[in-house]
Amino acid sequence: MNFSDLILMAFSNLWRAGLRAWLTIFAVVIGGTLIALMISLGTGANDFILSQFRSFMPVNSLIVSTSPEFGKSGFQGPSLGGEPREVKDGDSVLGFGHIGGQKSFTSKDIETIRSILHVQQVDPTYILSATSIRLNTSPTRYEVNLQCLPDYELDIRRLTAGTRFAKDDVRKAIISKQYCSVFGFDTAEEAIGKKVIIEVSQLNLFGILSGAIPAKPREIEFEIVGVTERTMASTEVIITKNDAIEIGRFIFNNPELYSEIWGSTLQVKVDNKANISKVANDIQDLGFGTQTPESIAASIQSFFRVVQVILSLFGAIALLVASFGIANTLIMSVYERTREIGIMKAVGATNSTIRWLFLLEAALIGFIGGALGVVAGWVLGRLANVIAHMTILKEYEAFNISIFPWWLIPLVLIISSIVAIIAGIIPANRGAKLNPIDALRYE
């Protein structure tokens, strides 16, 4: 029997079942919709987080730590929701930090790393724990995440207003868009040229040990020269290298910082993204730990993979329920078509032809249900995007809460068809095994 005839016959049988077929298909549609929607939401969230992350970390750089274990366990932030990690000697104890008893890079280490093939630039990662930021005209203080970035990293920050730093700038700052509203600016342009006061206080970490009394907090005035586009880094304030060195030395009360000792993490720029892993290996051979943008991105992505799988389980459960409906519908239809099956066998249909006829009918139910589910999932995803852009993603026009990758279409179609075919096995075998004589005698 030709495959096209088989399909045609299965299709017309399904068509004849009318409402019953549509009700069965509808159950599959729900499963398909859920799978499509959940995966598209997961993809949207993944893309959002990844692109946020990529806007912070240049793709051709890597982070190096004096701790060889650094980067081994993926994301190095504080334990998020998990059990607190054990601290061993030489571990970084302050999340990303490098203070305490953490070993620092020496100038010689930096020279060695700089001499590695493909390495273009080595910068310290400045730890600038500022206490607050305020407008010089107002006493209201806000939290702040003070940063000093290598020039090439600053280049990938997008500005909505103002400019990047000029060479040798001091007391200049680039603030994040979110500050504009709390500072009372109507537009980002309005912020340019205004002055902010940033307060930094000395850490008494060494003070306690040495018995020295920490110096009084300092208030430093900066001129706003730029405003970054709205990202998730809502409290980021970027300052120049000159100021960062000065503030760093004050905070740690260590005049040798960034001349003799360089902190426990460095940011290394590589000439080409393709050479990152090679450079990372070379640095690891020196006994240091590394973390590449790819390794961080990979751990973010694997997290969202898990989220997607969990979300799509809802759809899988719906499909499982639908599969019982399919089996039931087809068993009914074998029963109804007993005589028809008998006739087909009498005129020469093989058992396997009959089996295929029912399996294909099941597959059609799955395929049509999956196709409608994909369409419904896509429509709902678009709807979610529209709603999100009016609410939670108001400021992030470039982002979508639901992203519909092309592979979602074949994925849903294949899953729903396979589930349906599996559901069709029992009815199909029943039909195939019908004794033609009994079937013909059947009234």
- Kindly state the smallest distance separating residue 391's Cβ from another protein, in Å: 53
Instruction: Report, in Å, the least distance between residue 441 CB and another protein.
Output: 9
| Among residues 192, 261, 297, 343, the one that binds another protein under rule CB under 8 A | 343
User: Does residue 198 contact residue 220 with C-beta atoms inside 8 Å?
Assistant: yes
**Residue 305 within binding range of another protein, rule CB under 8 A:** no
Closer of 70 and 356 to another protein (Cβ): 356
Any idea what DSSP says for residue 261? B
User: Could you tell me which stretch among 162-170, 307-315, 346-354, 417-425 binds another protein (CB under 8 A)?
Assistant: 346-354
Q: Which residue lies nearer to another protein by CB, 5 or 69?
A: 5
Query: By C-beta, is 9 or 49 nearer to another protein?
Result: 9
Interface stretch with another protein, choices 1-9, 100-108, 120-128, 139-147 (CB under 8 A): 1-9
336 touches another protein by CB under 8 A: no
Bridge partners, 147 (sequence order)? 238
Which residue number, 189 or 336, has a Cβ lying nearer to another protein? 336
Q: Does 345 bind another protein (CB under 8 A)?
A: yes
Which amino acid is it at 99?
I
Among 68, 74, 97, 436, binds another protein (CB under 8 A): 436
- Least distance CB 82 / another protein (angstroms): 60
**What secondary structure does DSSP assign to 109-173, as a single string?**
HHHHHHTSTTEEEEEE---B-EEEEEETT----B--EEE---HHHHHTSPEEEE--PPTT--SEE
Which residues inside 11-40 make contact with another protein, applying CB under 8 A? Answer: 12, 16
Distance CA 63, CA 148 (A): 15
Exposed (0-12), middle (13-18) or buried (19+): which is 404, by Cβ within 10 Å?
buried
Instruction: For residue 420, give the nearest of 318, 334, 342, 341 by alpha carbon.
Output: 318
Among 2, 115, 181, 391, interactor with another protein by CB under 8 A = 2
Beta-carbon neighbour count of residue 124 at 10 Å?
Answer: 24
Contacting range for another protein; rule: CB under 8 A; set: 5-13, 26-34, 46-54, 111-119: 5-13
Tell whether residue 1 is a contact of another protein (CB under 8 A): yes
DSSP readout, 289-326?
A: EEE-HHHHHHHHHHHHHHHHHHHHHHHHHHHHHHHHHH
What is d(CA 230, CA 221) in angstroms, rounded to the nearest whole number? 24
Report if residue 74 touches another protein, rule: CB under 8 A: no
> Distance between CA 402 and CA 275 in Å, rounded?
34
The residue (of 280 and 349) whose beta carbon lies closer to another protein is 349
Query: Rounded to the nearest whole angstrom, what is the least distance from the CB of residue 1 to another protein in the complex?
Result: 5
Our CB check for another protein shows the closer of 7 and 409 to be 7
- Of 19 and 347, nearer to another protein (C-beta) is 347
**CA–CA dist 238, 287 (Å, integer):** 31
| 335 makes contact with another protein (CB under 8 A) | no
Confirm or reject binding of residue 129 to another protein (CB under 8 A): no
- Is 351 one of the binding residues for another protein (CB under 8 A)? yes
Angle CA 218–238–235, to nearest 5? 85
- For the stretch 44-63, what's the b/e string if a residue is b when 16 or more beta carbons lie within 10 angstroms of its beta carbon? bbbbbbeeeeebbbbebbbb
Least CB distance to another protein at residue 329 (A)? 18
| Binding of residue 321 to another protein (CB under 8 A) | no
Q: Is 430 one of the binding residues for another protein (CB under 8 A)? A: no
Among 353, 411, 422, 425, binds another protein (CB under 8 A): 353
Q: Which C-beta is closer to another protein: that of 16 or that of 85?
A: 16
CA-to-CA dists, residue 387 to 9, 208, 311, 380, 401, angstroms: 44, 54, 20, 10, 9
Among 213, 347, 390, 398, binds another protein (CB under 8 A): 347
**Position among 114, 138, 350, 379 found at the interface with another protein (CB under 8 A):** 350
Q: Alpha-carbon distance 154 to 148, whole Å?
A: 9
Q: Annotate 14-36 with b (16+ C-beta within 10 A) or e (fewer).
A: beebeebbeebbebbbbbbbbbb
Binding positions for another protein, rule: CB under 8 A: 1-2, 5, 9, 12, 16, 339-340, 342-353, 435-437, 440
